[in-house]
Amino acid sequence: MSPDEILLDCEERMEKAAHLFQTQMQGLRTGRATAGLVDSIRVEAYGSPTPIKQVANISVPEPQQIVIRPYDNSLLSAIAKGIQASDVGLAPNSDGRVIRLNVPPLSTERRRQLVSRLKELAEEARVSIRNVRRDSNKHIDTAEKGKTISEDERDSLKEEVQNLTKTYEAKVNDLASTKEKEVMEE
């Protein structure tokens, strides 16, 4: 791999790790209703597990309520079962056309649990970023041993990889602290 390819691959993989963390955070409840709470739930539709957002329109008409309107009314019970089977912790209320999910306010204990889960997810993202750094440094060392780059180039590339690592770790930390404040506010 050329030095540019190594850096590009490193940056792309670190960006993916940070994006995955951001996506995982959307599924954490904050006491406010968001479509992200139910986006990843899979329902049995047409013989295969399908993400709920592909079979229904999800809207948030009120701060404490999510409304799920299926494109096909025959999927109403399958969507309700999928929500009950998920770990979201919300009870679906169906009126025959739509499903309403009322999001209750969070207790202080539940908020602390969510913050600890958030910290676990953030640490997983940081570990992924560090693993990308390790892989990139291996590629750099291999390129230097193969005489395709000099020692000076190796050192400057490793420094750039370290700067990318710091940048993406800071991004993850910022996202986590913002979400933590959001979860802890009453």
Q: What's 35-102's CATH class? A: alpha beta
Assessment of whether the complete model's pTM goes beyond 0.75 = no
Question: What is residue 64's predicted lDDT score, i.e. its pLDDT?
Answer: 85
The pair of three-digit structure tokens given for residue 81, joined into one six-digit string? 């079962």
- C-alpha dist (Å) from residue 70 to 86, 135, 145: 18, 44, 59
Q: 54: burial class by Cβ within 10 Å (0-12, 13-18, 19+)?
A: exposed
Q: 145: burial class by Cβ within 10 Å (0-12, 13-18, 19+)?
A: exposed
Tell me if 80 sits within 8 A of 99, measured CB to CB: yes
CATH topology of domain 3-26+107-184: Topoisomerase I; Chain A, domain 4 (1.10.132)
Give the whole-angstrom CA distance, residue 184 versus residue 186.
Answer: 6
The tens digit of pLDDT for each residue in 101-151 reads 888 877 888 788 888 889 999 999 999 999 999 999 999 999 999 888 898
Question: Is 69 strand, coil or helix?
Answer: strand
Looking at the chain, the whole-number percentage of residues with pLDDT higher than 90 is 39
Measured in whole angstroms, how far is the alpha carbon of residue 12 from the centre of its chain? Answer: 16
- Among 65-74, 87-96, 158-167, the range scoring the smallest mean pLDDT is 87-96
Q: What residue segments make up the domains of the chain, in order of their start?
A: 3-26+107-184, 35-102
